[in-house]
Amino acid sequence: MPSERPWLQFAEWAKSYGDIMHLSVLGKSIIILSSPKAVSDLLDKRSSNYSDRPSLPMAGDLVGYVDSLPLCAYGRRHREMRKLFAEVINSRTAQDLYPIQERKTQQFLSRLARHPLDARKHIRWLIASIVFKISHGRDVADVQDPLVTLADQATSDFGDATVPGAFFVDMLPVLRYVPDWMPGTRWKSQAREWRNTMQKLRDDAYDDIVRKVAEGVAAPSFTASLIEENPHRTLEQDNIFRWASVGLYSGGADTTVSAIESFFLSMTLYPDVQRRAQDELDRVVGRTRLPNFGDRSHLPFIEALIREVYRWNPVSPLALPHVSTSDDVYDEYYIPAGSVVIGNSWAIMHNSEVYPEPMKFTPERYLPPHKEGLNPDPRAFAFGYGRRACPGERLADDSLFIVIAMTLAVFDIHPPRNEAGSIKRVNSAYTASAISHPVDLECHITPRATTTEKLLAAIASE
């Protein structure tokens, strides 16, 4: 079982062994799916049999995420949490969130104009400010906000804890009982450290809102609504609300940050794509105002660019594992109950038979004329599968649109320059974590024209 970037090794094996591979690791059956058809047929169409999660002793039991939406067992708890998310993030309520997303993105542009070398920091602030405004009614001043710092650390820890093969205890659960003093058990103290961070993130902000609701001073938010509408909640309900509250951020913020970082990186590498997107914005929106959500349906190239951001380097290259609850037969393969089933999203979105020349960033692949079977919408693979798909997909997708559209309307994104003003080589490498980020995010950002400078000045003065 490869422990670093397993999605790449699985993709290579799939070339020899096919789109459905079976691994046996210490007697455990692991099924790797590497085609759109396989993940659709099993994880989507047969989701009633493939919606549970396997036991992940490191991330689930030792770190403590066993009750979180991503890792909790399929059943009543899982359905209740998804229902809570669906009430705040759905096609009907999405428009209610547009003003928050547009205003925060305008502030992001202003920050980027003042400090263009700090793009990565501004991106993290932007997503934190959007999500925490919705989830906790909290205005985030900067990325040094204690809640943001805590959430980012916990999210990073979760990504490290869930990489398949990274911790042997996930393959041999009995190792959790090994005494801490034995050599080679550094991972146990690591788990305790991560658990402390997780508990502080889950409880501190929630308890603060409980107090504010009792005092009648809580700002409107998803969490405040849960508490206000359930004054006599049971301990189980309270635990669900705690996880739902923190889940809005921890479940999707880092992935959205990763997607936006990939957008900035791709623009430094593909200037022709950037110019075509800007030409469309100038033609449809003009240069006297910023684009808004009402423009989206009139911006097909921007929409195609968003799809390519999802595909080019998936934010989650390897989907979290599912587990089969009953024996199954698929395409002459016998899949025993209890098998771990993993969708290799990276392999699917870099399959040259599905996406020709997959290593190139080519938004045009999604524009007419379409060829049947080629270039499907990568959002079908970017947010997980079946009943385990990310419930925050709509919020993340809307945020990505408004950031890309507004940024390209007012800025040019160039490769980085050294102190002498010469263009530096762009580092296109990505991290090996479960949530993949560009290793470096260096770019040279400048306002496009006098009219956009006036727009930025107007935003800054508000």
372-391 pLDDT tens trace: 889 999 999 999 999 999 99
For 436-453, what is the mean pLDDT? 89
* Size of the chain in residues: 462
Contact 433, 159 (CB under 8 A): yes
Grade residue 456 by pLDDT with cuts at 50, 70 and 90: confident
Q: Are 301 and 326 in contact (CB under 8 A)?
A: no
Cα–Cα separations (whole angstroms), residue 293 to 24, 105, 114, 256: 48, 12, 25, 18
417 pLDDT exceeds 90?
Answer: no
Q: How far apart are CA 387 and CA 391, in angstroms?
A: 9
Structural domains in the chain? 6-461 (1.10.630.10)
Query: Which pLDDT score, from 0 to 100, does residue 451 have?
Result: 74
> What pLDDT, on a 0 to 100 scale, did the predictor assign at position 219?
96
Contact 337, 330 (CB under 8 A): no
Provide the percentage of residues in the chain whose pLDDT is more than 90.
80
Task: Please state, rounded to an integer, the average pLDDT across all residues of the chain.
Answer: 93
Its sign, for the CA torsion 260, 261, 263, 267, is positive
pLDDT band at 462 (very low <50, low <70, confident <90, very high): low
pLDDT at residue 443, as a whole number: 94
pLDDT at 271 over 70: yes
Residue 26 is predicted with a pLDDT of: 83
390 is in an annotated binding site: yes
* pLDDT of res. 139: 94
The pLDDT of residue 452 is above 90? no
Give the residue-averaged pLDDT of 39-57.
Answer: 96
Q: Band the pLDDT of 224: cuts 50, 70, 90.
A: very high
Residue range 314-349, pLDDT digits in tens = 999 999 999 999 999 999 899 999 999 999 999 999
Q: Which of the residue ranges 58-62, 120-124, 456-460 would you say has the lowest mean pLDDT?
A: 456-460
CA–CA separation, 290 vs 105, rounded Å?
A: 11
pTM to 2 decimals?
0.94
Encode pLDDT of 87-138 as tens digits.
Answer: 888 878 889 999 999 999 999 999 999 999 999 999 999 999 999 999 999 9
Query: Model confidence over 150-195: pLDDT tens digits?
Result: 998 998 999 899 888 889 999 889 999 998 888 888 999 999 999 9
